A and B are shown apart, each in its own frame.
Chain A
Amino acid sequence: MNRLFLGWMILVLLLWCGPALAQDTVCVQCHGGLDGRLGAPVGQWEKSIHAANGISCHDCHGGDPSDFAMAMSPERGFIGVPGYEEVPAFCGRCHLGVREDYEKSAHGEALANGGPNCVICHGNHEVVKASIDLINEQDCTRCHDYERAAEVKGVIAETEAKLQSLDLSVASLHRVGIDVERLSGELFSTRNQFRRLFHTVNVEKLQQQRSAFDSDLAEIGAQVGEIENQLSQRKLIGGIIVVLLVLAGCVALLIRQTYHSEEEAGE
């Protein structure tokens, strides 16, 4: 549990400090100037969620990002390009849970026989924030018919939508100064668990376990709702005070008026 907590803390931190962390490494400096296969990844990566969170070339490919000469030396941990079947292990160094469930899934078990690895669905260098739209007829039918995929999508759609809307609510609470550290932590870990479960692509399993996630999310939703309630109550009271102040101002000016008419009369 504590590990998990630490994990998301680091992630949240990374999310916050992100943009400036992905510094100009020697990898980017050199490859940025190259053409074609060797240069393209730089531009793609720049648009990725990895870049936005400060995950740079060497975080996946290893090597030394500060030394031109030794940048791609295996001595400095350079890994280079993983083979097709090595990709799940490659990505799974960070995305541990997802890897585990993926490996036990129909997708994972078929890997050796040309089953899909991570990048088939997510892309590689230009990987963007995962969304339910990754499951679509066009992409899934590259390998099999859409029927079963649609079924899976149907099962997770509602929970995914709830995750999305809670994300937005929590962000807007944060915007008005509410301390959402705990809430967004809970949300983050729930999403992780759910996304991980999704990678089993097993309709029965998803159906069985969905309700646990739904009740977790309902719990978080209730907390969010309570805070939102408080906020609108505040607004109501604030509104009453504004009205009182305006009325008091008007009365004071009316009093001023009574003196003013005396001044006029006395002229």
Chain B
Amino acid sequence: MKIKKMAIDWLDSRLGVSELLHQQLGGYKLPRNINTWYALGAVIMALFGLQFLTGILLLIYYVPDTEKAFASVTMIMNEVPFGWLFRYLHVVCSNLIIVALLLHMMSVMFMGSYKRPRELTWISGFTLLNMGLVFCLTGYLLPWSQLSFWATTVATDAAGAVPVVGEYLVSFLRGGPSVGAATLGRFFALHVLVLPLALMGLVGFHLFCVRRNGISQAPFGKHYRPVEPSDTFTHEEHHDGIPFYPNYTSKELGVIFFALAILVLITFYAPWLFIPLDALVPADPFVTPDHIKPEWYFLWAYQTLKIFPSEFLGLAVQGAAMTFLALLPFVDRGPERRPGKRPLFLTCYLLGILLFVGISLWGHYS
């Protein structure tokens, strides 16, 4: 105890650590009516942390070579002690991260937290969601199974619908006319180095935005007071709010434990949910398996490409939808955040979710 105090005092007298800690933890006040949804950001960070750990472990035995990748994954699953555990955790966690990202996005959307002055928080967040998806796409190829190979072939092929440069774009993504060793090389580099670095940087920016603006009040209940829009920078203060630490971190910790419980449950009891049969067969560039389907989070895109008469139209619609979402804070500019007072938004929100689920299901069963 005494040593700890001495160490803190030593640091403190030089860097003012305790002031900093107080500012960021106990003195950092959150709105009184903060709810469970606000814990999702922390859940995502915890899951990404675990993902980094399991990823580094897999990297120790994985071989990024078209001849050896599948065998190395088989070896991890069957010979390396607990290799199956880390592989399954990595696979299942990637799916849970997408779920958590979607929930986080839907909750901040529902509560109108993306509105001024939090546009940058939203845009960085939306970029992070897309990075999460690219993470999954690039990781999917690495085991070099039939599923990896053909899912990547189909996914990269979609870029061919872009006018004029489409064909070049496809071969640029693949590093050649078709998926092969060159594709594995670039996807591997993206997956284990580029994306993690970029993600960490962008998460830093996202958190900076969140911290700088202050956490928004939840727009519910009789205590909610709309914030007057201002032309100058203001940090949303919550003088009578609750301390971030330990009052809210205890809640975040609880929610993280529950998320981990779900992760472990699926990892031990139903990992095959995310490992279709085609993932158990090594890639064969000459044999396309029947009924190849993308992962659940890409089904909407897959199905839109099929619905429209031309691939280009489908791709354009997808692009428009994503751009619309990315720029939402600039489209929906009214200051009102209470869902009850935003009937038009609420209708679009619910219809949007239904459309997403509907198209995904359609894609799944078609």
Chain A residues engaging chain B, CB cutoff 8 angstroms: 16-17, 19-21, 174-179, 234-235, 237-239, 241-242, 245-246, 248-253, 255-256, 259-260, 263
Contact = CB atoms under 8 A, between A and B. Distances in A.
Interface of B: 32, 74, 77-78, 84, 88, 242, 246-248, 250-251, 253-258, 260-261, 264-265, 267-269, 271-272, 275, 277, 280-281, 284, 287-290
B242 to A, nearest CB: 6
Contact of B77 (A179, A238, A245, A251): A179
A260 B289 CA distance: 56
B144 to A, nearest CB: 15
29 contacts: A20-B287, A176-B271, A177-B272, A177-B275, A178-B77, A179-B74, A179-B77, A237-B268, A238-B265, A238-B268, A242-B264, A245-B261, A246-B261, A248-B257, A249-B256, A249-B258, A250-B254, A252-B253, A252-B254, A253-B250, A253-B254, A255-B246, A256-B247, A256-B248, A259-B242, A259-B247, A260-B247, A263-B242, A263-B247
Nearest to B248: A256
B250 A176 contact: no
A174 B77 CA distance: 12
A259 B269 contact: no
A235 B246 contact: no
A174 B265 CA distance: 21
A255 B250 contact: yes
Contact of B269 (A174, A238, A250, A251): A238
A147 to B, nearest CB: 44
A230 to B, nearest CB: 10
Given A245-B260, A252-B253, A17 B284 contact: yes
A251 B253 CA distance: 10
Given A179-B78, A256-B250, A235 B257 contact: no
A256 B246 CA distance: 8
Top 8 nearest A-B pairs by Cβ distance? A238-B268, A249-B257, A252-B254, A245-B261, A253-B254, A256-B250, A179-B78, A259-B247
A238 B84 CA distance: 13
Contact of A259 (B74, B246, B289): B246
- Which residue among B253, B267, B275, B277 has the maximum number of chain A CB atoms within 10 Å of its CB? B253
B281 A16 contact: yes
Nearest to A243: B261
A260 B36 CA distance: 13
- Which residue among B246, B253, B256, B268 has the maximum number of chain A CB atoms within 10 Å of its CB? B268
Contacts of B251: 252-253, 256
A44 B264 CA distance: 48
A238 B264 contact: yes
A219 to B, nearest CB: 20
B271 A242 contact: no
A223 to B, nearest CB: 13
Given A179-B78, A259-B242, A263-B242, A245 B287 contact: no
A103 B59 CA distance: 56
Contacts of B242: 259, 263
A55 to B, nearest CB: 15
A180 to B, nearest CB: 10
Given A177-B280, A239-B268, A249 B255 contact: yes
Contacts of B256: 249
B84 to A, nearest CB: 7
B287 A21 contact: yes
B287 A238 contact: no
A235 B269 contact: yes
Contact of A177 (B246, B253, B271): B271
A259 B248 CA distance: 9
Contacts of A239: 268
Contacts of A251: 254
Contacts of A245: 257-258, 260-261, 264
A170 to B, nearest CB: 13
A17 B261 CA distance: 38
Nearest to A17: B287
B268 A234 contact: yes
Contacts of A250: 254
B288 A20 contact: yes
Contact of B254 (A21, A174, A238, A256): A256
A246 B258 contact: yes
A190 B306 CA distance: 47
Nearest to B275: A177
A63 to B, nearest CB: 23
Contacts of A252: 250-251, 253-254, 257
Contacts of A235: 268-269
Contacts of A20: 287-290
Contacts of B250: 252-253, 255-256, 259
Given A238-B269, A252-B251, A175 B277 contact: yes
A19 B290 contact: yes
Nearest to B270: A176
A177 B290 contact: no
A53 to B, nearest CB: 13
A148 to B, nearest CB: 43
Given A251-B254, A253-B250, 4 more contacts: A20-B288, A235-B268, A256-B247, A259-B246
Contact of A246 (B78, B84, B257): B257
A252 B284 CA distance: 49
A252 B42 CA distance: 14
Contacts of B78: 177-179
B295 to A, nearest CB: 17
A242 B268 contact: yes
